[in-house]
Amino acid sequence: MRTITVLGATGSVGASTLDLIEREPGRFRVRALTAQQDVAKLAAAARRTGAAWAVIGDETRLPALREALRGTNVDVAGGREALIDAAAGADWTMAAIVGCAGLEPVMAAVRAGGTVVLANKEPLVSAGELILAAARDSGATLLPADSEHNAIFQCFDFARPERVRRIVLTGSGGPFREWSTERMRVATPEQAVAHPNWSMGAKISVDSATMFNKGLELIEAARLFPVDPERIEIVIHRQSVIHSLVEYVDGSLLAQLGPSDMRVPIAHTLAWPDRMAAPVPPLDLVALGRLDFAAPDEGRFPALRLARDVLRAGGARPAILNAANEVAVAAFLGRRIGFLEIAAIVAETLDRFDPPAPGDLAAVLAVDAEARALAGERVKDCVV
């Protein structure tokens, strides 16, 4: 029986993970569940799964969590250090904390060894070299839960990476893929989070609308797979059925197809290197009928160019891009800036801040904090 920890248990990825675990209770034992603020969902999940430990990131919510789990055998804790402590010690850890807040817990899980499943892009984007070095030192196995990177993982020949000609990352294009720049200028948060294919949290949904999610995925793919980053391409595929592809030197192009349901890639990581049943309907190719592809428009979606630029530059640049984007997305969701200001704020933050490459996690967090401060100043200048 494998011990399981879910970091970010109350989000969409966490909920999908728990759904799979609860379907096979004899196969998994839940060590720890964490959330940032949602006491009710965290307590309910801990009760259902018999978790040994429930941790709330917002320490002010700890009394409410204690009350919600009174009379159970679940140990409770709260605060940053408790999140870090909870991250270490399971056989299999789902890293699904949104944003750079998950960086320290992910590093703790990686340093402890075991299997760490990455659903949040930020650790590999902001601190990729440090995370990968820690995994090499501890012997931890890193598995991608993003549908795109999981698809590549399933198609990639790690024994012969030199035989890979290119990686093709697919993206739906988000809800604004057909919108003009003028129309996007007045887009609302409600329109931005209405993804046509996936059910996701607000932040990642906005990232899909700006295509920053694809930019972050580009950087993440360059960390995960041993290919020249210039051989990683992005293609718009509106149906979200082909999740990504790997092309080999003989012309073979291997693709992973599946429903737009995060339980598919999560089930792959839960059972890897085996397979397990997932409660999703089979893909009906006849009903699907067609698959469409298009080149991304970097004029309307400058996030793609920004991500490619910071990937080439390396150093602290990816961390700056990620931090500024988080601040800008939060401001957009709070109706303090317009939709097109998200990319503009990220670009301006990158122009204003170019520190040396961070050498450790503390330096990454310092870069992140400064980039957030600069992006926050720019938000204040915006008029909606």
Q: Is the dihedral of CA 21, 26, 32, 35 positive or negative?
A: positive
Give me 215's structure tokens.
Answer: 């930019």
pLDDT of residue 381: 83
**pLDDT per position as a tens digit, 33-47:** 999 999 999 999 999
pLDDT of residue 382: 78
pLDDT of residue 384: 60
Confidence of residue 267 (pLDDT cuts 50, 70, 90): very high
Confidence of residue 32 (pLDDT cuts 50, 70, 90): very high
Confidence of residue 383 (pLDDT cuts 50, 70, 90): low
Question: Percent of the chain having pLDDT more than 70?
Answer: 99
Whose CA is closest to 8, among 113, 93, 111?
93
pTM value? 0.93
Question: What whole-number distance in Å separates Cα of residue 198 and Cα of residue 259?
Answer: 10
- Residue 342 makes CB contacts below 8 A (sequence gap 6+) with 206, 210, 212, 303, 325, 328, 329, 332
Give me 62's structure tokens.
Answer: 């700890």
Question: Percent of the chain having pLDDT more than 90?
Answer: 91
pLDDT of residue 61: 97
Long-range CB contacts for residues 23-30, cutoff 8 Å, separation at least 24:
23/277, 23/279, 24/276, 26/1, 27/1, 27/2, 28/1, 28/2, 28/3, 28/4, 28/270, 29/1, 29/2, 29/3, 29/4, 30/3, 30/4, 30/5, 30/6
* Average per-residue pLDDT for the chain: 95
Q: Is the dihedral of CA 341, 342, 345, 348 positive or negative?
A: negative
pLDDT of residue 121: 83
- Domains in the chain with CATH codes: 2-145 (3.40.50.720), 158-257+282-304 (no CATH), 314-384 (1.10.1740.10)
**pLDDT per position as a tens digit, 92-132:** 999 999 877 889 999 999 999 999 999 988 889 999 999 99
**pLDDT per position as a tens digit, 166-223:** 999 999 999 999 999 999 999 999 999 987 776 677 888 999 999 999 999 999 999 9
Any idea which of 82-96, 198-212, 272-286, 321-335 has the lowest mean pLDDT?
198-212
> Would the pLDDT of 323 be above 90?
yes
β-strands 92-95, 2-7: how paired?
parallel
Whose CA is closest to 49, among 22, 88, 67?
22
